[in-house]
Amino acid sequence: MTLWYALVDLLPFEWAQPGSMYFMKNALLAVLVISPLFGLLSTMVVHSRMSFFSDALGHSAFTGMAIGALCGFGEPTWAAVAFAVVFALLFNLVRRRSHLASDTVIGVFSSTAVALGIFISTLGGRSFTKFNSLLIGDILSVEPAAVGLLALILVLVLALWAVSFNQLMLSAVHPALADSRGVRVFWQEAVFSVAIAVVVTVSMTWVGLLVINSLLVLPAAAARNVSRNMAQYHLCSVLGAVAAGVAGLMTSYYIGASAGAAITLFLAGWFLVTFLLRKKG
Amino acid sequence: MRKIKHGRLGGGCSDACCLKLEGLSVQLQGDSILEDVSFHLHCGEIVALIGPNGAGKSSLFRSILGQMPYKGTITFSPAGGPAIRLADGEIIGGSRPLVGYVPQSPSFDRGDPVSVLDFFTAATARWPVWLPVPEKYRTRAEQSLARVHGEDLLDRPMGALSGGQLQRVLLALALEPVPHILILDEPLSGVDIEGEHQLLEMLDELRSRYDLSILLSTHDFATLGQFADKVLLLNRRLLKTGTPDQVLSSPEFYETFHLRMGKGGGEA
């Protein structure tokens, strides 16, 4: 972190003065880790039409937090991660075993998770308001340890992408074809959904439940408008996410609004731009 | 178009037999999908599988691909290689069989940012395709696509290909590596006359170059005589096997397709 602070201190901003405003410097680093992470995952979420699924995972993460709080864990995030992972695996299992369309299965899971979360968090007449912070998120409250955890997750996702991306892509295109080429489709999908579960749950506190899914959809949706191959697609998605992340954080600092919401608005603007520039034919 | 009738057609199954199914049965949740299906394919032979919707064509393919549990035995005897025997889905002799599979219309949207090169590299190499693809893999994909005269398609997005072009890319992929048997699921649907002609020419070229047996399903009875050495009429059971003429003029064929339609139903 010392190195990072020394680096940021070189920037010509008011908040970048040496020895002060550490929360802002932490937040900037967190954004620089979170945004490429979401930019990467986003490509596959959009490609395999899982945007509704990632939305449902966000809801399940909230339920996990509620369960964690109920059980009296000091750090309910871990309960939430565990719950989201179980949720993701169960969903994959049910989708595989039933003949229902994916979005129906997701709807079943999503509504159950939300209902359970609200039920548990309001049990015994307790107030729901303490969970409000989860809905909006607060990137400025991020601690160096959490940034370290996010960086570790980024490294793991990069490793997953290096090893599994091809197989994931084939599974999304045509499961039977992928299988005929030796891809274990079920496990690929399970690992990917667990990765989304972990990332969504861990970053929810800072990004906010209400907008987290937009970070998993918008970067790749925008990139899809203008790219013709996978390399361009990833580059656009990650760069768009990082640019919107930094711009959103700055905006929220200078005019005082939720950073998660500001980042999402920048991404939406980026989507609009790419839509107007979209490849024809 | 050419008309080749295979010389070994009438005989029993000699060592030139590429694929042999014996007593294959598939049950799904108590329902019988396939009953006691037995046939053999010679190397270098193109065999067409016909039957009404729900006849079990896909289940038959999925059994051969090892994607569905079944009872019975399947033997692969690739040209020049040792035989591979599977009983009830378990390999009891030899290594894992290589089945080239050309699926029916995979889901590509027009805007999908997947180039033919991305798709090919993802399926055949370990190099992660979200990074720019190195020259080595590019050359390799180009060579594979040249087999189906598709090397100019390399940088096109998959979603922008015509039905015939997509089939050719999928065919090139199914031949990488050259499989023991090639299976094509409805390759002629969604392909125009020109594309159909090209595809059939290509299959003919491939079967003679690699001495490959090719099994394909189709609803296009009019062209059967132009390319198929043998036709299998399937409706849960194998109703009739023979040359296109023999099968198309058989009472079984008539019954399966015409009487069914006339009565508006019958057995599933």
Mutate which: B31, B68, B130, B156, vs A, most A CBs within 10 A: B130
Q: How close B227 gets to chain A, by Cα (Å)?
A: 25
Query: What are the distances in angstroms from CA A89 to CA A58, A84, A188, A193?
Result: 15, 9, 11, 8
- Global ipTM: 0.84
Closest in B65, B130, B160 to A231, CB measured: B130
B contacts of A224 (beta carbons < 8 Å): 111-113
The set of residues, in sequence order, having a beta carbon less than 8 Å from that of B143 and lying 6+ positions away, is none
Neighbours of A115 (CB within 10 A): 12
CB A69 within 8 A of CB A121: yes
Mutate which: A174, A230, A233, vs B, most B CBs within 10 A: A230
Domain map (residue ranges) of chain A: 2-277
Give the confidence band of A157 by pLDDT, cuts at 50, 70, 90. Answer: very high
A contacts of B100 (beta carbons < 8 Å): 180
Taking the Cβ of residue B167 and every Cβ of chain A, the question of whether any pair is shorter than 8 Å is answered with no
Across chain B, what does the average pLDDT equal? 84
Please choose, from the candidates A25, A164, A180, A67, the residue with its C-alpha nearest in 3D space to the C-alpha of residue B96. Answer: A180
pLDDT of residue B9: 39
Taking the Cβ of residue B106 and every Cβ of chain A, the question of whether any pair is shorter than 8 Å is answered with yes
Helices (H), chain B: 57-64, 116-124, 135-146, 163-174, 193-210, 224-227, 244-248, 251-254, 260-263
CB A18 within 8 A of CB A27: no
Inter-chain residue contact A166 with B128, CB threshold 8 Å: yes
Six-digit token string for B223: 């062209």
CB B59 within 8 A of CB B82: no
Helices (H), A98-143: 102-121, 132-136
CB B116 within 8 A of CB B153: yes
Query: What is the C-alpha to C-alpha distance for residues B183 and B103, in angstroms, rounded to an integer?
Result: 8
Query: What is the C-alpha to C-alpha distance for residues B222 and B46, in angstroms, rounded to an integer?
Result: 16
Please choose, from the candidates B249, B230, B191, B208, the residue with its C-alpha nearest in 3D space to the C-alpha of residue B46. Answer: B230
Closest in B67, B111, B114 to A179, CB measured: B67
Inter-chain residue contact B106 with A281, CB threshold 8 Å: no
Identify the structural domains of chain B with CATH numbers, from first to last.
18-103+184-257 (3.40.50.300)
Q: Has residue B266 got a pLDDT over 70?
A: no
CA dihedral B53, B59, B61, B67 (to 10 degrees): 150
Please choose, from the candidates A30, A6, A26, A27, the residue with its C-alpha nearest in 3D space to the C-alpha of residue A18. Answer: A6
**CATH classification (class only), A2-277:** mainly alpha
CB B168 within 8 A of CB B202: yes
CB B127 within 8 A of CB B134: yes
Taking the Cβ of residue A138 and every Cβ of chain B, the question of whether any pair is shorter than 8 Å is answered with no
B contacts of A43 (beta carbons < 8 Å): 130
Per-residue pLDDT tens digits for A110-132? 899 889 988 888 887 777 777 78
Q: How close B249 gets to chain A, by Cα (Å)?
A: 34
Per-residue pLDDT tens digits for A194-218? 999 899 988 888 888 888 889 999 9
Between B16 and B179, residue with greater pLDDT: B179
The interaxial angle of helices A51-70 and A22-47, nearest 10 deg, is: 130
Residue A99, exposed/middle/buried by CB under 10 A (0-12, 13-18, 19+)?
exposed
Per-residue pLDDT tens digits for B55-92? 899 899 999 998 889 999 998 887 667 788 888 888 88
